[in-house]
A and B are shown apart, each in its own frame.
Chain A
Amino acid sequence: MLAYIVRRLLQSILVLIAVGFIAFSLFNFVGDPINNMVGVEATDAERDAARKRLGLDDPFPVQFARFAANAVQGNFGQSYRLSIPVETAIAERLPATLELVFVAAVMALAIGVPLGVYTGLHRDGAISRMLLTASLIGISLPTFLIGILLILVFSVWLGWLPSFGRGATVDLWGWETNLASWEGFKSIILPAVTLCLFQLTLLMRLVRAEMLEVLRADYIKFARARGLTNRAIHFGHALKNTLVPVITITGLQIGSLIAFAIITETVFQWPGMGLLFLQAIQFVDIPVMAAYLCLVAFIFVVINLVVDLLYYVIDPRLRLDRPGQVF
């Protein structure tokens, strides 16, 4: 188990180095950064001085090593657009995105999994058919359209929920949160629903398909033959056997929640990282783009690591360090 974790960690580090390399390349391939810093009328001598001062005349590997060393310490330089350190800009925005993704993921799991179990158990029921048809909407409507429709219904027509921004946040030990007050929570509902709808329907359909598969298994038949209650069979034996694929997909989807958050944040003017990233692209703010790239890669790697560890918790067959004694 330990060997496995170490191996996975090494792989993760390799991934991060590769992403770091790509992020670093941005600086060199998207124009000469010196041009962005010195004035148009600067002389060649001034340019060379600036180049030397910033270490840009060093050989490529040295520059990359310096970038990596800084990045590991969370130092990505100055934002061209905001003129503040990139890490400060991100630190301001990160909580908003993470909170949005967290709420969306919890909603997707808390609603998607039970609906999947229900539709799996009552395959031919009227409610199941209705849910499945409705889930097609979640799968096929693009995020921005769902967001705009939700704003139209709940903000414009009904006026129940705010249509943009984070609204009132509460400062909890330096973390601006929407979840501590009802006013703040109201602001996060619409963006979170928009963001989670696709994942929710995906999870529901996945759990349903897995349940249908597992319910045909011999051990379910044997569990019935032993007289176990339906509850124990469906939620104990069957559901647990569907979890490995569900966790895999959930892990991957949390990654894409962060990615899709860019669109949702734009629709709702949610002051998160996605919005920051979009603005960075508009202004060719390379340090911010590089930092965002590295951060997202880091989050993906962490999620994958957690997913792998969860496999171990769920499926005993993967715990290879306790070799099966086969008589």
Chain B
Amino acid sequence: MSEARSNQHLLSVENLRVEFPTRRGTLVAVDRISFHIDEGEVLGVVGESGAGKSLTGAAIIGLLEPPGRVAEGNIVFDGERIDDIGYEKMRRLRGNQIAMIFQDPLTSLNPLFTVGRQLTETIRTHVSIDERKARVRAIELLNEVGIPAADRRVDQYPHEFSGGMRQRVVIALALAVNPRLIIADEPTTALDVSIQAQIITLLKRLCREHGTSVMLITHDMGVIAETADRVAVMYAGRIVEIGPVGDVIKRASHPYTRGLMNSIPVIRQDIEQLVQIDGSMPRLTDIPPGCAFNPRCPKVFETCRTERPELVDVGATKAACWLYDYARRPGAGSTT
């Protein structure tokens, strides 16, 4: 908000570690990750299911399901720590400053309340205006997300909307109080392919218009390529590569990212078979020592199996891979 902070990142996450204590020991679902999001920026977060993308989002907005907890690190939003501010302060931030959109628009809306009621309720939780004005604002919002005849549909129930329309309502709800950051957790996964592009385009346009930053969690590299400014690739609870989207896509540094890129079909290329990464992501209970990707990595060498790589600069991006530590990679001068 203040001028002094204008050179700061809107959100910065430092060394975040999310744990789940279980009877058989503690599972580390997000393992010391750091990244930031600037004002108006779209950060894509990609990775397979279970890579810790959604948990990172939930940790930022303070909605980790117990027993999950932030065990280490800090989350700074707009210059202030928000990971330890207590339930009530965090609640005031939610929806107001940081909003979140979930995967399934069919179940994100309460079936027993009209769309308008859910909108006005959200608005009036954060802004002190009367019901009539909130309703006017609700209709505006529905118009803004492209719902035809908004003044009539505001009084309808969620079941009277199609999936795509419901996701528009969900976006309207997230944008209701003009938050500065939206965490969109697979916002289009549950929708028809034909609708997905519409929703992504809408989300992108609205956030640009409002100057809202977005953390876009998805496993769809296509969506990331079209939408994000920067992208973070997650694997087994860690960020393996992060950087501007063009660089990550065209000149992927980490072998995992390269594998991901190779597994995307390219329309104009006539190839017999898509390349896939052998094996699957380790379960949280048996993440190997060293680099978590080492059992599947085509370029694995000794160091990868024993020491965990940190993010290092590789051109425009950062990658967590020993290949880019020239002192440690095999055949490097220091080993002779």
Contact = CB atoms under 8 A, between A and B. Distances in A.
Interface of A: 217-219, 221-230, 232, 236-237, 240-241, 314-317, 322, 324-327
A40 B94 CA distance: 87
Contacts of B114: 316
Nearest to B173: A226
Given A219-B108, A222-B109, A325 B125 contact: no
Contacts, number: 92
B116 to A, nearest CB: 13
B99 A219 contact: no
B206 to A, nearest CB: 17
Contact of A226 (B107, B112, B125, B148): B125
A221 B102 contact: yes
Contact of A229 (B125, B162, B173): B125
A222 B170 contact: yes
Contact of B122 (A217, A226, A241): A226
A94 to B, nearest CB: 36
B247 to A, nearest CB: 32
Contacts of A317: 111, 157, 159
22 contacts: A218-B104, A218-B107, A219-B111, A221-B102, A222-B109, A224-B91, A224-B94, A225-B95, A225-B174, A226-B176, A227-B91, A227-B125, A228-B95, A228-B121, A229-B125, A230-B91, A232-B125, A237-B113, A314-B112, A315-B111, A317-B157, A324-B161
Given A227-B94, A236-B113, A237-B113, 11 more contacts: A221-B63, A224-B91, A226-B94, A227-B93, A229-B91, A241-B110, A315-B111, A317-B159, A322-B160, A324-B159, A324-B161
Contacts of B170: 222
B122 A237 contact: no
Contact of A326 (B100, B113, B161, B173): B161
B157 A327 contact: no
B178 interface: no
Contacts of B125: 226-229, 232
Interface of B: 61, 63, 91-96, 99-100, 102, 104, 107-114, 121-122, 125-126, 148, 156-157, 159-162, 164-165, 170, 173-174, 176
Nearest to A224: B63
A223 B160 contact: no
By DSSP majority rule, is chain B's interface helix, strand, loop, or mixed?
mixed
Contacts of B160: 322, 324-326
Contacts of B148: 327
Contact of A327 (B111, B121, B165): B165
Contacts of B95: 225-228
Contacts of B174: 225-226
A223 B110 contact: yes
A162 to B, nearest CB: 44
A315 B112 contact: yes
A229 B122 CA distance: 10
A238 to B, nearest CB: 9
Nearest to A222: B108
Given A222-B102, A224-B63, A228-B125, A237 B110 contact: yes
A221 B100 CA distance: 10
| Top 5 A-B residue pairs of the complex, sorted by shortest distance between their CB atoms | A227-B95, A227-B94, A324-B160, A226-B95, A218-B107
A219 B61 CA distance: 16
Contacts of B112: 240-241, 314-316
Given A221-B102, A317-B157, A326-B160, A227 B96 contact: yes
A225 B121 contact: no
Nearest to B153: A325
A185 to B, nearest CB: 37
A84 B21 CA distance: 74
B215 to A, nearest CB: 13
A224 B94 CA distance: 8
